[in-house]
């Protein structure tokens, strides 16, 4: 089954999105029979990947289509239940790779909520009109504020450890102590208490911001939302732009968008991913860009790249290596970057740049090897240079008769940060930070000799060796253990400081890869396998 990551509000099955001036309400109403696969029902607002694809789309659309929104209220349309979290039977019947990719996507969605709050001024409020457990509470703690109904029954909980023998899969443990700064001992008790905590204790421990009785819940929530709106200022002005569906043609071995193409070599388990650069003469003012809409190159090309990366992640599991190429003129890429840098304070230009940054972080976090191949006709300049720096290796042709160049722009200096808060240049040259300033000071294109000297490329084969060296590199990479490569790449890509995001993606993904394969979770007698059955989990109690 091919999973499609594109949707729109009129196609939503599980969410209702309503905007009223500066306030948006995003209500969860999961239809239990509308599942991505067979064998489970989405009861009690539990979710599968399809539910989260809609949530991710809604968060993205609010930023581009509704810039006037200053508060987003996330709530439920079902009585006495907010969200029961990821569907346990879906997880229990899914492959290991799907479980891990599912959790990574839900993490990226929650991080996009936090990114919107931090950079777009859209504050998120969780109005828990019922119990929020597991991933439901993890969705709540991705929001800025959490309010729980006090009806004598509703609680917040993270029951994965006691009930399933696994971890909260969407960063819950990290956000408890890093974001909400819950005391470690209290977090320990909470995370091993299957029934969770209700209003008063939950507030005392910092798990929620407040709780209100049923009779006053809506009134208090309305008052709090008005207060946030009044204090949030008016950051974005002007009408939004519509995000139209991405058009592409697909075959067994290819997927072609307007600017992005994916071609698969299934025998050797690698893909060629090519990004076409912009046309010349694109609009240069925010007003012209707004009129251009979602067809503006840096928005459309990066939306296409995002969709292609998700497709490779979830639908092409045996593709272990992605060779990144670009096609176009460097001067056209640099012209776009200049426009984005000049008008960075305009809400739409800011959102376009922030989206580019999120897509590049999606690439950083994808469990594939990436090789950048810099050849004649390439346009690895400015924002597209980030693709080369993000790659695990970079190969640049050294041929005086067919000169190849790279170029930097203002965007390489900080507009497109990694999850660790550094630029990719800063992460690359963490031992020699002076190199970053030297590279950013370069004007014009850098030929192969200069790029190699400055440390921007891994290998610079001449034209006689190019094809053989690339062929051997591909054959060697795809022959290695995919498990070892995933661990190696994730460990090497994020040098420098650790952030909440890198903890979530680094530690959590590593632990999930381990726990989701352990008998205590998924074995015949494991807790996840036996959930909801009359049989009890039987653990191997040796600690490892």
Mean confidence (pLDDT) of the chain: 96
Pairing of strands 15-20, 145-150: unpaired
- Residues of the chain above pLDDT 70, percent: 99
Q: What pLDDT, on a 0 to 100 scale, did the predictor assign at position 509? A: 78
Residue 67 pLDDT > 80, yes or no? yes
Q: What pLDDT, on a 0 to 100 scale, did the predictor assign at position 508? A: 80
Q: Band the pLDDT of 511: cuts 50, 70, 90.
A: confident
455: alpha, beta or left, given left = phi > 0 and alpha = psi -120 to 50? Answer: left
Same domain for 226 and 302, yes or no, is no
Task: Compute CA distances 207 → 181, 281, 350, whole Å.
Answer: 9, 52, 32
Q: What pLDDT, on a 0 to 100 scale, did the predictor assign at position 363? A: 98
Give the Cα separation of 281 and 265 in Å (integer): 35
Same domain for 473 and 328, yes or no, is yes
Same domain for 198 and 272, yes or no, is no
**Which of 285, 299, 291, 289 lies closest to 342, judged by CA?**
285
Domain containing 341: what range? 250-486
The answer to the question of residue 241 being in a domain is no
Give the Cα separation of 49 and 86 in Å (integer): 9
The answer to the question of residue 511 being in a domain is no
The answer to the question of residue 70 being in a domain is yes
Same domain for 147 and 286, yes or no, is no
Give the Cα separation of 204 and 190 in Å (integer): 12
Helix (H) or strand (E) holding 361: helix 347-364
Same domain for 300 and 344, yes or no, is yes
Tell me which DSSP letter residue 426 carries. Answer: H
The answer to the question of residue 273 being in a domain is yes
Measure the N-to-C terminal CA separation of the chain; round to a whole number of Å: 37
Q: What pLDDT, on a 0 to 100 scale, did the predictor assign at position 136? A: 98
Q: What pLDDT, on a 0 to 100 scale, did the predictor assign at position 1? A: 87
Identify whether the C-beta of residue 31 lies closer than 8 Å to the C-beta of residue 40: no
Same domain for 254 and 223, yes or no, is no
Q: Which of 164, 198, 231 is the last residue of a domain?
A: 231
The answer to the question of residue 79 being in a domain is yes
Same domain for 227 and 260, yes or no, is no
Q: What pLDDT, on a 0 to 100 scale, did the predictor assign at position 87? A: 96
The answer to the question of residue 525 being in a domain is no
Query: How many domains are there within the chain?
Result: 2
Q: Band the pLDDT of 507: cuts 50, 70, 90.
A: confident
Q: Which of 172, 197, 231 is the last residue of a domain?
A: 231
Same domain for 107 and 19, yes or no, is yes
Same domain for 213 and 359, yes or no, is no
Same domain for 79 and 167, yes or no, is yes
Q: Band the pLDDT of 513: cuts 50, 70, 90.
A: confident
Same domain for 212 and 263, yes or no, is no
Could you read off the pLDDT of 183-237 as tens digits, one per residue?
Answer: 999 999 999 999 999 999 999 999 999 999 999 999 999 999 999 999 877 766 6
The answer to the question of residue 237 being in a domain is no
Strands (E), 249-407: 249-251, 254-256, 260-265, 270-276, 321-327, 369-374, 393-396, 405-406
Model pTM? 0.97
User: In the structure, how many helices (H) and strands (E) does the chain have?
Assistant: 22, 20
- Return the CATH number at 473: 3.90.226.10
The answer to the question of residue 530 being in a domain is no
- Residues of the chain above pLDDT 90, percent: 93
Q: Which of 204, 231, 258 is the last residue of a domain?
A: 231
Which residues make Cβ contacts (< 8 Å) with residue 110, sequence separation at least 6?
A: 138, 139, 142, 170, 171
**Which of 313, 312, 322 lies closest to 391, judged by CA?**
322
Residue 299 pLDDT > 90, yes or no? yes
CA 505 to chain centre: 10
Same domain for 179 and 264, yes or no, is no
Helix (H) or strand (E) holding 227: helix 214-231
Identify whether the C-beta of residue 485 lies closer than 8 Å to the C-beta of residue 445: no
Task: Compute CA distances 442 → 325, 337, 423, 455, whole Å.
Answer: 23, 16, 17, 13
Could you read off the pLDDT of 77-126 as tens digits, one per residue?
Answer: 999 999 999 999 999 999 999 999 999 999 999 999 999 999 999 999 99
Identify whether the C-beta of residue 260 lies closer than 8 Å to the C-beta of residue 276: yes
Which residues make Cβ contacts (< 8 Å) with residue 74, sequence separation at least 6?
A: 26, 27, 28, 124, 125, 126, 127, 139, 140, 143
Task: Compute CA distances 356 → 237, 328, 337, 404, whole Å.
Answer: 21, 18, 11, 25
């Amino acid at each position: 089954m091919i999973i499609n990551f594109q949707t729109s509000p009129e196609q939503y099955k599980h969410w209702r999105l309503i905007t009223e001036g500066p306030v948006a309400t995003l209500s969860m109403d999961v239809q239990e029979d509308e599942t991505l696969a067979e064998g489970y029902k989405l009861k009690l607002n539990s979710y599968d990947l399809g539910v989260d694809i809609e949530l991710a789309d809604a968060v993205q659309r609010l930023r581009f289509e509704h810039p006037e929104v200053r508060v987003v209220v996330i709530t439920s349309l079902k009585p006495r239940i907010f969200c029961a979290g990821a569907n346990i039977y879906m997880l229990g019947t899914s492959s290991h790779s799907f479980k891990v990719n599912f959790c990574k996507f839900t993490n990226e969605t929650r991080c996009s909520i936090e990114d919107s709050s931090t950079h777009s001024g859209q504050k998120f409020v969780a109005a828990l009109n019922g119990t929020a457990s597991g991933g439901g509470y993890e969705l709540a703690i991705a929001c800025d504020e959490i309010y729980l109904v006090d009806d004598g029954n509703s609680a917040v909980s993270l029951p994965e450890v006691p009930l399933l023998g696994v971890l909260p899969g969407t960063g819950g443990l990290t956000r408890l102590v890093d974001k909400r700064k819950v005391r470690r001992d209290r977090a320990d008790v909470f995370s091993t208490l299957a029934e969770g905590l209700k209003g008063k204790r939950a507030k005392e421990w910092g798990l929620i911001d407040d709780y209100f009785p049923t009779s006053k819940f809506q009134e208090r929530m309305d008052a709090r939302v008005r207060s946030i709106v009044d204090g949030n200022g008016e950051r974005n002005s002007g009408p939004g732009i519509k995000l139209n569906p991405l058009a592409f043609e697909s075959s067994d071995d290819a997927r072609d968008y307007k600017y992005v193409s994916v071609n698969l070599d299934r025998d050797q388990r690698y893909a060629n991913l090519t990004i076409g650069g912009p046309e010349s003469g694109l609009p240069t003012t925010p007003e012209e860009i707004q009129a251009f809409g979602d067809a503006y190159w840096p928005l459309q090309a990066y939306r296409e790249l995002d969709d292609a990366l998700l497709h490779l992640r979830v639908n092409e599991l045996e593709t272990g290596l992605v060779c990144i190429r670009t096609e176009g003129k460097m001067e056209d890429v640099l012209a776009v970057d200049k426009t984005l840098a000049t008008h960075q304070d305009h809400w739409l230009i800011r959102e376009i740049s922030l989206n580019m940054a999120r897509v590049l972080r999606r690439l950083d976090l994808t469990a594939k090897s990436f090789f950048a191949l810099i050849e004649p006709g390439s346009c690895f300049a400015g924002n597209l240079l980030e693709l080369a720096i993000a790659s695990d290796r970079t190969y640049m042709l050294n041929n005086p008769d067919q000169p190849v160049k790279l170029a930097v722009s203002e965007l390489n200096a900080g507009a497109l940060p990694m999850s660790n808060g550094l630029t990719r240049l800063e992460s690359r040259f963490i031992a020699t930070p002076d190199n970053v300033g030297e590279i950013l000071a370069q004007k014009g294109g850098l030929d192969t000799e200069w790029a190699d000297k400055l440390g921007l490329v891994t290998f610079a084969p001449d034209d006689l060796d190019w094809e053989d060296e690339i062929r051997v590199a591909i054959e060697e990479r795809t022959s290695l253990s995919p498990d070892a490569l995933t661990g190696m790449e994730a460990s090497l890509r994020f040098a420098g400081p650790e952030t909440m995001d890198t903890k979530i993606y680094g530690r959590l993904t590593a632990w999930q890869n381990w726990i989701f394969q352990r008998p205590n979770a998924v074995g015949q007698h494991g807790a996840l396998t036996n959930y909801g059955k009359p049989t009890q989990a039987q653990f191997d109690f040796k600690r490892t």
